[in-house]
Structure formats: structure tokens, C-alpha cells
Amino acid sequence: MALSRLKLKKIREEKIIQDYQNTLQAHKKTHVKSFKKVAKQYAKNAWSAKYNDEKVQKLITLMHSGTHKKEFSEIVISIAQKGRTEALLQEDYMLEALACVAKEHSFFIRNIKNWKPKGRNSQKLFTSLVKHLFVKYDIPSCLTSLWFASENKLARTWFIDIGQGKNVSKVNHFPVPITKKEAHYFTKSPSKFTFIEAIRYGQAKTAGATNTFINRLNKTDLGKYLYPKEEFWKEVIVFLVRNNPKATAEELEIVVEYIWNQKFAKLWGQNTKGQVVQKNPSEPNFNLKGKTWNSLWKRAFEWFKVVGIIRKEPQEWAHFIIENNYIKAKTGQCFVFEQLLTKQELFEEGKKMNHCVGSYSEECRTSQSVIFSMQNVLSRGKSLVTIEVNPKRRQIIQTSRRFNDSPSVFEKEIIREWAKQNDLKA
């Protein structure tokens, strides 16, 4: 005899609560009642139980950590009670972002109980939530991604300050110097742009660039990274816009790489004794005064024909060629995968991550293994995940966070997308 829909819901509810019990018994019972509320709501709104003990453990850890645990619990319960919003509680990176929201509860301008969810997927729901809690005025979509950089409290204050009416040019410690006009264009940047692309959009638009030119510019490293001496790079953008607004993406990439190498890159090479040493930049005083597009392009292209795109670090073993080392996540965050090419780089990675990758130099030297470091472009140099690839089979062998922990669900998605784009077996 077929069970009624009401009976099925009851069975699911009981199953979810029962699944929680083993984990809950090992902890303080402060939030048992709250979890039961969440379980009941899931039973009503979801066709299958999507939570497991690992997810419950994550929620418990966040609910018991920091001075914001009460606010985080209230957010979780409010989300569960809304219905059709369970996507916000199903992924680790979303739970961590919600914990960051709870930390900033003193800046809430509206009660979460009055939130009216918009959208069905987790990104749209999260955007709807933070706009309800913090935002008085329209803000660029790219700012939402700042909530997913859990280690960067300063980035969250940019979102709150701009959302509550502060001009971008007046925001404390914004990563680049920015004028009011650039700030205006930054806030009007297309929704598909990342945070860094939106900054370049504001700089280039102020200089008179077309959208076509900006799209080409953002395909270069200027659209992927923030550099030291950003005032100089703003001058470069203005120069490119005014001197060759029809430059192709390939031409812009060569010129940008040439300028970086001449003025900033400390390249590695051999001295007269045959020792590998780091050399100072070729032209540390390089500037654009008196230069035209033709003169700059001639020098850049001649350089490119000889050396191509140079790696800026020393290299002790073969460079494993991949098509794309830069991945944009669905959250708007961007990640870069950098190959480690020296014993020193492996040692530093192992020391920072507290695992044994420092002992892999022989495997790398003999091309048995290739090691990559996955990093957020807003915090270059800080490894999130270490990845070992078998170059012959083009297969990912293992991935490790600090202390050999497994990557989060979100990080695994990024790694799978990187593997897919580079024809690697995940």
C-alpha cells in the first residue's frame, strides 16, 4: 500500500533527526532543539535527506565557535524556516560565509526574520540575504564574493561600507587608489565581472575605454591580479586606452608582460661562476614618458620573439604545460594554480601547510610527479590546497589542505573544473 505524502514527510523527519543523534550526543546539548527545527524543516521542503554527520559536525563547530554563535544559530534557523532555501546550508563554503555574516551582526540594518528570499540557487539566495541584512543602496555584484574570503575581515567591511552609502573612494584600505569617477564606474561594472575586473573597468572607463577594449584588457594578467605599485599600472591602462584603443587581447597581453618583466621581475640566471642567482629587473626606472604605442610595441614584440612569456621564479625541473591555470568560481572568487619548480618552493609549501610535500623533490626532478599550489588571487602566496599530478597519465593523484586535511566540497569543485579545462583526470 502506498504511503501518503504526509507519512513520507514524517518518516524523513524522523530519519534526519535519528541521523543527527550520534553526533549530537558527543557535544553540549545547547543547540539540539535548534537542530531538530532544522531537521523538521528539511523534511518538509526536501525530497531527500541531503545532510549527513559531516555536515552536522560543520554546523555544530560553527555554532559553538566565537562570540557570534547565537547570531549564527538564529541565521541557520531563519533560513530553514523560510522554505526552499535549504541550498544555503548544503555546502561548506556557504556555511563559512554565513558564519562571517554572523560575525558582522552589529552592522545589520534589517531583521533576518523579515528577509524575503530571491532566487533558488545558493549564490542568488546568499546575495539576497546579505543585501537584506547590510545594504541600503545598490552595489556591484562582484562585492558579494568578498564574503567567501573568510580570512579577510577587511574585505567584508568594504561590502558593508559601500552598501551603507560610503563612496568607494573613501573606503578604508581599499586595495587600490581610486578616484570618485573610477569609483562611480566600479559600482556600475557588469554583473559578470570579478572584483579585480570591476576595478579595471572603473580605471579604463575613466580613461575613455570602450567595453570591447575592457574585455580584452581583462584577459591579460591585469584583469586577474592586483600588482605592487598600482598607481603605475593605472598609468599603463590610461596609456593603452589613449594610444591604441583597438589593440587585440594578444597584443595587450604581450605589452603588459613586457612592462612587468622590464620594471619589476627579478629573473633567475647564471653569474660568471655558473651559480644560479636572482638578478635585478632590467629597467627598474622604466616609464612611459615620451613613448608611443608603435615604439612600445616594437620593443615588446622583439622581446617576446626572443624569450616569450618568462617564468619569474627559478626552475630546477620541467615545467608541466597546462592550458589554463586560472579558474573563476561560481561565487565570483578567482583562483590560480601555480606549479612548484624548485626544492625551496616545495620546502616552503610543506612548512606552511604542515605536510610532507617538501620531500617530493626527487619525484619532481625525474618527472614522476608535478606539484601545484592552489591560491586565491586576492591572497597570492597563501596556499589553500597542494595538488600532486602524475604527468604521464595526466591524473590528479592527491590533494591536501593544511595538516593533510581533505579539501572542502567547494575547493574540490574548483579543482575538478581546473582538471576539466586542462584535460586532467580528477
Q: Residues 6 or more apart from 345 whose CB is under 8 A from it?
A: 313
pLDDT at 296 over 70: yes
Tell me the range of 24-28, 120-124, 221-225, 341-345 where mean pLDDT is highest. 221-225
Q: Residues 6 or more apart from 387 whose CB is under 8 A from it?
A: 337, 371, 372, 373, 374, 396, 398, 399, 415
Contact 79, 130 (CB under 8 A): no
pLDDT at 255 over 70: yes
Rounded to an integer, the average pLDDT of 52-79 is: 67
DSSP 309: S
DSSP 371: E
DSSP 358: G
The cell for 270 is: 647564471
Which string of DSSP letters, residue by residue, matches 396-425? EEEEE-GGGPPPPHHHHHHHHHHHHHTT-B
For residue 268, what are the β-bridge partners? Answer: 278
Give dist(CA 267, CA 179) in Å, integer. 34
Tell me the range of 181-185, 222-226, 335-339 where mean pLDDT is highest. 181-185
pLDDT at 45 over 50: no
| Helices assigned H by DSSP within 225-342 | 230-243, 249-263, 293-307
Give dist(CA 69, CA 102) in Å, integer. 8
Rounded to an integer, the average pLDDT of 284-290 is: 92
pLDDT at 80: 73
pLDDT at 414: 92
Grid-cell match 612592462, residue found: 259
pLDDT at 136: 93
Tell me the range of 34-43, 67-76, 283-292, 358-367 where mean pLDDT is highest. 283-292
Tally Cβ neighbours within 10 Å of residue 396.
19
DSSP 30: G
| pLDDT tens column, 112-167 | 889 998 887 888 899 999 999 999 998 998 999 888 876 677 888 999 999 999 99
